[in-house]
Structure 1
C-alpha cells in the first residue's frame, strides 16, 4: 500500500514527463491483462484479432477514418516489455531536462504533436511507396515517434550538452541525435517491423519546433493553449508571498533572491520574445549551467 501511495504522490506532484511515463506503463499493464482475457475467452469484437489493433494507428486511410482516436492512442501502446522499457528509458533521461528548459506545455505538446507527425508521415509513406503498399494494412503502436520528438528537440536546444553513453563514452547530444536519425534513414526500406518513417516524423517536429523557439517563434502556441484548457495546466507562475517581521526590515545581502527555475523561466520568456540570439553571454551560460543540474 505504501508503494501505491508513493506512486499516486509522484503522479500528482511530478511533472508532465513523469505523468506520461506512468500513463504509458499503466496502459501497457491494462492492455496486457485485457489481451490475455480476450484470448482466453476467445472474444473477437468486430473481427479484431488483437485488442491492440482497435487502438493502434493503421496504415489504411479507411481504417483511420473509422478510428480517428488512434492517432492519439497509438503513442501510449506498446507491443512488448522491451518495447516500452526502451522507449520510457530514453524518455526518462531526456524529457525531464526538456521539460525544465521548455516548460510543461511545451513538454506535453512536443510529445503529442511529435506522435501526430510520426503517424501522418507513416500514413503517407505507406500509401505512397509500392514496397509498403504491397504489405497491406499494417497497424503501428508505440511511443517512439513522440520520444524521438523530445529527444531531437533537446538535442536542438542543447546541442553541445555532453552525456555519458553506457557510462564510458562521452558524447554530445547533437551527435547522439544524428546517429539515431541516421539509423532510421538507413532502415527506411527494411522490413524489420520498425516504423522508421514515424520516427523521422517525430524527429522532424522536435527539430522544427525548437529551432523556431530559439528564434522567438512558438509554432505550437495554438495547440499549447488547447492542451492547457484540456489538462488544467497554467502558464501563470505561482507567486510566492513572504511575510517578514517588522524588526527584520534589513536589506538582504543576496542581490537576487529568485530561484534557479524562476531565472530559467525569465530567460525562456526572453527567448520567446526576442529569440535565442538576444541573450547575453551570461544568460546563455546560466541556461546551459542550469541544464546540468536537472
Structure 2
C-alpha cells in the first residue's frame, strides 16, 4: 500500500482559506452564471444569441483564426475560466475537483493555481497552432473558438499522476483501493473519446495534448526540486496583500525563495510523548503548502505520535 494512503485527504470546504481547488471552482462557476445570465438578458431583450457571442464571447474565447488570436492574446488566459454550456462546465468542474483535490493533498495548494493557468495557456496555444498547421481544422471549426478548463484539468490530472501514480483512493475497497493511474486512464478514455465522437470535437485534441504536456513538465520539474510556479506565487501574494498591514505583507515561509528547512531559533522537538501543539501546527501548515510528500521522516513520525491517543 502506498504510504500516502494512511493520511486523510482534505475535504472540499468553502471555509478553507488555502483550498485553492475550492477557489477555482467558485471562480469558474461564478463566471459561468454571470455569462449565462447575460445570455438570457440578450434573449429577453430580443437582441439575439448571435449578438451575445459577437459582443462578449468573441473576446473571451480563443479564436480559431490564428491571426485574430494574435490580435487578442488575452484570450489564451480568459478562455480557461469561460464556460457557457452546462455539460462542459459540469464535467470540467467534477474532474477538477477529483484530480485537483488529490494534487493539493500530495503536493500542496501552492501547485494548483500556477499549474491550472500554465496548463490552460499552453493548451490554448496548442489549439491555435493546430488551427494553423493541421489541414482541415479551420473548416471543421467553422469560425468558432475554444473555451473552457479542459486543458487546465488535463494538466492537473497528468501532474498528479506523474508524482504519485500508485496513490490509492477509496483504500477500504477490496485490494486496497483504486490506483490513481487507473482513474487517469478512465479520464483520458472518456475525455478523448468524447472529442472524437462529438461534431467538430477533434479540433480540441491539440489543446488536451498541450495541457497534458504542460502538466508533465511542471510536476516533473517539481519532483526535481524546481518549482516553476514559485515566482508566480510570490508575485500573487504581494499583489493580493498590497493594501494589507505591513506585518501581513511579509512572505510566509513556504513562499520564500530559499526557505530554510529548520529554524535554528526554535528549540528542537525531541519529546517522545504528547506532541506540542505548535509543532503539530507547523507540520500541518507544511502539508497544506507543499503536500504530504514534503515531510521528513521525523515529521511523519511526529504525526503518528500525535494521532496516537495513548501518548
Query: In structure 2, what is the Cα distance between the partners aligned to 1:58 and 1:181?
Result: 25
- Residue 245 (structure 2) pairs with residue 204 (structure 1): no
Partner of 2:137: 132
1:254 to 274, 279, 285: 274
SS at match of 1:112: helix
1:173 to 164, 177, 180: 180
Deviation at 1:183, TM superposition (A): 5.7
For the 8 Å contact 2:123–2:207, the answer to whether it is kept is yes
- Residue 236 (structure 2) pairs with residue 227 (structure 1): yes
Deviation digits for residues 107-128 of structure 1 (CA, Å, limit 9, x no counterpart) = 1100111100110111101111
For the 8 Å contact 1:110–1:146, the answer to whether it is kept is yes
TM (normalized to structure 1)?
0.72
For the 8 Å contact 2:115–2:155, the answer to whether it is kept is yes
Distance 1:173 1:13, change over 3 A: same
Distance 1:36 1:19, change over 3 A: same
Distance 1:45 1:188, change over 3 A: closer
Distance 1:20 1:184, change over 3 A: closer
2:86 to 71, 81, 92: 81
SS at match of 1:159: coil
- Residue 85 (structure 2) pairs with residue 65 (structure 1): no
Distance 1:37 1:23, change over 3 A: same
Partner of 1:114: 119
Query: In structure 2, what is the Cα distance between the partners aligned to 1:104 and 1:266?
Result: 5
For the 8 Å contact 2:168–2:178, the answer to whether it is kept is yes
Distance 1:124 1:234, change over 3 A: farther
Mean Cα deviation higher: 41-50 or 20-29: 41-50
TM (normalized to structure 2)?
0.68
Query: In structure 1, what is the Cα distance between the partners aligned to 2:174 and 2:272?
Result: 44
Query: In structure 2, what is the Cα distance between the partners aligned to 1:65 and 1:213?
Result: 31
- Gaps in structure 2 of 5+ consecutive residues: 1-12, 242-248, 255-270, 305-311
- Gaps in structure 1 of 5+ consecutive residues: 1-8, 239-250, 272-278, 290-294
Deviation digits for residues 165-211 of structure 1 (CA, Å, limit 9, x no counterpart) = 9x999531123324444566667776634322212211111111111
Distance 1:202 1:285, change over 3 A: farther
Distance 1:230 1:202, change over 3 A: farther
